[in-house]
Amino acid sequence: MSEESPAQRPISSLADMKEYRGIFSWIASVDHKQIGIMYIVSAFVFFIVGVGLAIAMRIQLMEPHAHFMSPETYNQLFTMHGTTMVFLMAMPLLFGVSVYFVPLMIGARDMAFPRLNALGFWLYFFGALMIYFSFMAGGAPNAGWFSYAPLTEKAYSSHPGLDYWALSLLVMGAGSVATGINLIVTVLTMRTSGMTLTRAPLFVWMTFFNSFLVILALPALNAALVMILADRQLNAHFFSPAHGGSALLWQNYFWLFGHPEVYILILPAFGVISEVIPVFSRKMIYGYDFLAASTVAIVFLSYAVWMHHMFATGLSYLVLYVFAGSSMLIAVPTGIKIFNWIATMWGGSIRFTTAMLFATAFLIQFTIGGLSGVAFAAIPIDWQLTDSYFVVAHIHYVLLGGTLFAMFAGIYYWFPKVTGRLLSEKIGRLNFWLMVIGFNGTFFGMHWLGAAGMPRRAYTFLDRPPLTTLHLVSSLFSFVLAFAILVFIWNVVRSLRNGAVAGNNPWDAWTLEWTTTSPPPVENFEATPPARGWRPFWDFRKKEETDHD
Amino acid sequence: MIERNKLGMILFLLSESVFFLLLILAYAFYHTSGELGTKAAHALNVIQSGIFSVALFSSSFTLWQADRCLKDGERARVRFWLAATVGLGLIFLVGQGIEYARLLRDQITISRNLFGTTFFTLTGFHGLHVAVGLALLMILFGLSARKNGSEPSPVAMGSISLYWHFVDGVWVVIFSIVYLWGFI
Ligand code: HEM
Ligand SMILES: [Cu+2]
């Protein structure tokens, strides 16, 4: 079980795993590792598609009055871009990493319900295919990623794109709930002996809390989707004001799901950061209890802030103040986390591997995104900037500069465990710097664009001084960003072929997944590893230094 | 530690309660914002549906008995109580069918007005849950009725019971709001 024991299996890459040979071994698999890999790979494919859509939009916006595409096409592109990035890229990426690593980190053989796990993946997969099928079935959805009523009613949007949108999200939503349940039960019932909940790695904690958000927020979306489908397919009137229905009801229901959703997208990223930073700072995480407990606060508060997306809809002052207050409050537990991560790095002997670089950039960029979020919680600022490019900047600082950068940190950190090969650090650095430059170049100026009055979701703009230059700069940098992704793909392909063999524990890390081979055998561990402290693997090797109880 | 299948079921029901809560809130929202209440009082047959609802409520009791007998190892009684549960559930669904048929004859459909929209969506999804529950109960019954001495595992029985009691409980809320509120 330890790395000293002679390797009985000379396995050093995924290709050596005879259990994983042939397409059928994947399609029929209930192995959490294969399912995790399928999630991650599919998410990445859709990521490329989403980036492609974004680049097309940036080409259209490179100069004023451009005719690269029609306004109708532009509507479809931002809708499909937003929907793809949130539901087809970010969520499955997080689920993939979670179902792959949670069982390994708690010393389990698999998830609590392996077949339910497979069901969750395939629901996502076919749901994702279904929404892209809409391009061939009369046009893609075009009402934005939150599809406001009554634009989404049949009377205003008669082509079938929105039906595909709603059905596909419903199918994927069911899959997400299944996976959320599975993760919670796994964490509660499958931990190895000695691993009390208070010794579970923070990634496990974050996934655990996150799964509660999933199972309690997705049904809100599902209910709203069922209602919009009833409206469109059966001529019901939930959201059609012409028949007494309420368009605002949709907004309430969508954001009752939507705000917890943005935390669903960020909590697992917090988990990744909480693993990567201590390992590369060679220090224990600072404030384990605070990091875990502040997450509980986030989970509860995230259900109490949804109306900050609706400040411009004519709410009463009482409602405005309550939701502005709760929205500012939620910045507190988030700030605590940032503080803990910085405190962990403080005085540590930091190794700036590519993973650590991404984690550091995450801290800075996520803070910027968080600050523009707090700005929006101030009602007058929201009234001024809502639906402008300031929002586009905010979204991307949180989701791209935040979540995605954290996931890249996770990918550089865990790729050796999953595939048996190290990613090249040299190409990794190139990947990182291109991405930082491309990302900030594309999106930082958008704060200014928004303040200068550029509305979001507009297919073109007037030739006015700040707008023209800022759009051009943004578009040019977006090409750098896209190029950074290509560099990453190159790194992956190259490393899979002939990357350095990773060995069990290339980073000298502390959690249980590093005790087994890379890639792990089908049964994960040859013997169930016990846990005695916060850093089980460390304790295992240095019994006299157990750093807990 | 709680058994993992039951834990999974409890979490699933937690998720389902949010789903139903929002459908119920939509009904309540339109009830208070229009003259939905009077329409409901006009259209619905409270006495008849009340009787069918009693069938559903008592099926929770019979299933509880089945669960208890399974623990005591009384196989014949398990079969009896399960059959009773399935029968009562079927009666409820038939009752719902009768109610629907009458409404549709009176031209009250999902697209007629907001009452139809909210009523059929809410009760339709509940009916769907009853139907799924019945299928599960029939599987349990099939297991208990086989000659080879097989019987439903206590875990399966326990998890499905949780589901059934939940569906029952949801109906208590729906019945109170949809059928009784209109008369206040
Ligand atoms: C190469 C990277 C990316 C570029 C160049 C890009 C660019 C854009 C552009 C131009 C828009 C539309 C602005 C408008 O007209 O309103 C947009 C919207 C959006 N993007 Fe991105 N984006 C990128 C990556 C991402 C990622 C990684 C995510 C999420 C994880 C994301 C989430 C969204 C969302 C939610 C919207 C709003 C869609 C809507 O208005 O309905 N984007 N992005
Ligand atoms: Cu929000």
Q: Do A249 and B29 touch (CB under 8 A)?
A: yes
* Residues near A229 by beta carbon (within 8 Å), at least 6 away in sequence: A163, A166, A167, A170
8 A C-beta contact, residue A268 and residue A274? no
Residue B88 has pLDDT above 70, yes or no: yes
Task: Please write the tens of the pLDDT for every residue from A388-447.
Answer: 999 999 999 999 999 999 999 999 999 999 999 999 999 999 999 999 999 999 999 999
Please indicate whether residue A121 or residue A529 has the higher confidence score (pLDDT).
Answer: A121
Name which of A501, A112, A133, A498 is nearest B4 in CA terms.
A112
> What are the structural domains, with CATH classification, of chain B?
44-183 (1.20.120.80)
Reported confidence tier of residue A542, pLDDT bands at 50, 70, 90: low
Residues with CB under 6 A from ligand 1: A 51, 54, 57-58, 78-79, 81-82, 85-86, 90, 144-145, 392, 395-396, 399-400, 403-404, 442, 456-457, 478, 481-482
Long-range contacts of A340-344 (CB under 8 A, 24+ apart): A340/A285, A340/A286, A340/A287, A340/A290, A340/A291, A341/A273, A341/A274, A341/A277, A341/A286, A343/A286, A343/A287, A344/A277, A344/A278, A344/A281, A344/A283, A344/A284, A344/A285, A344/A286
Task: Please write the tens of the pLDDT for every residue from B132-168.
Answer: 999 999 999 999 888 777 788 899 999 999 999 999 9
Name which of A112, A212, A227, A304 is nearest B15 in CA terms.
A212
> What are the structural domains, with CATH classification, of chain A?
29-548 (1.20.210.10)
Residue A164 has pLDDT above 60, yes or no: yes
Q: Stretch A282-311: mean pLDDT, rounded?
A: 91
pLDDT (0 to 100) of residue B42 = 77
Residue of B16, B22, B110 with shortest CB distance to A230: B110
What percent of chain B is modeled with pLDDT above 70? Answer: 96
Q: Considering only CB atoms, which residues of chain B are within 8 Å of chain A?
A: 1, 4, 7-8, 11-12, 14-16, 18-19, 22-23, 26, 29-30, 33-34, 110-111, 113-114, 116-118, 120-121, 125
Mutant choice from A196, A226, A256, A302 vs B, greatest count of B C-beta within 10 A: A226
Residue of A48, A75, A78 best suited for mutating to test ligand 1, as the one with most atoms within 8 Å of CB: A78
Residue of A188, A222, A243 with shortest CB distance to B19: A222
pLDDT (0 to 100) of residue A428 = 98
Reported confidence tier of residue B36, pLDDT bands at 50, 70, 90: low
Name every chain A residue with its beta carbon within 8 A of the beta carbon of B114.
237, 243-245
Residue A545 has pLDDT above 90, yes or no: no
Task: Please write the tens of the pLDDT for every residue from A485-525.
Answer: 999 999 999 999 989 999 999 999 989 999 999 999 999 99
Task: Classify each residue of A43-65 as buried b or exposed e, where b means 16 or more C-beta atoms within 10 Å of its C-beta.
Answer: bbebbebbbebbbbbbebbbeee
Name which of A498, A352, A343, A481 is nearest A412 in CA terms.
A352
Residue B53 has pLDDT above 70, yes or no: yes
Residue A539 has pLDDT above 90, yes or no: no
| φ/ψ of residue A302, rounded to 5 | -65, -15
Q: Give SS3 for B158.
A: helix
Q: Stretch A113-118: mean pLDDT, rounded?
A: 98
Task: Please write the tens of the pLDDT for every residue from A119-138.
Answer: 999 999 999 999 999 999 88
DSSP state letters, A397-457: HHIIIIIIHHHHHHHHHHHHHHHSBPPPHHHHHHHHHHHHHHHHHHHHHHHHHHHTT-BTT
DSSP annotation of A464 reads -
Reported confidence tier of residue A59, pLDDT bands at 50, 70, 90: very high
Q: What is the Å distance from ligand 2's center to A377 Cα?
A: 9
8 A C-beta contact, residue A416 and residue A376? no
Q: Stretch A264-275: mean pLDDT, rounded?
A: 96
Q: Indicate the average pLDDT of chain A.
A: 93
Cα distance from A97 to chain B (closest Cα, Å)?
21
pLDDT (0 to 100) of residue A1 = 39
8 A C-beta contact, residue A139 and residue A159? yes
Does the pTM exceed 0.90?
yes
Q: Stretch A107-111: mean pLDDT, rounded?
A: 95
pLDDT (0 to 100) of residue A343 = 95
Name which of B13, B125, B164, B126 is nearest A215 in CA terms.
B13
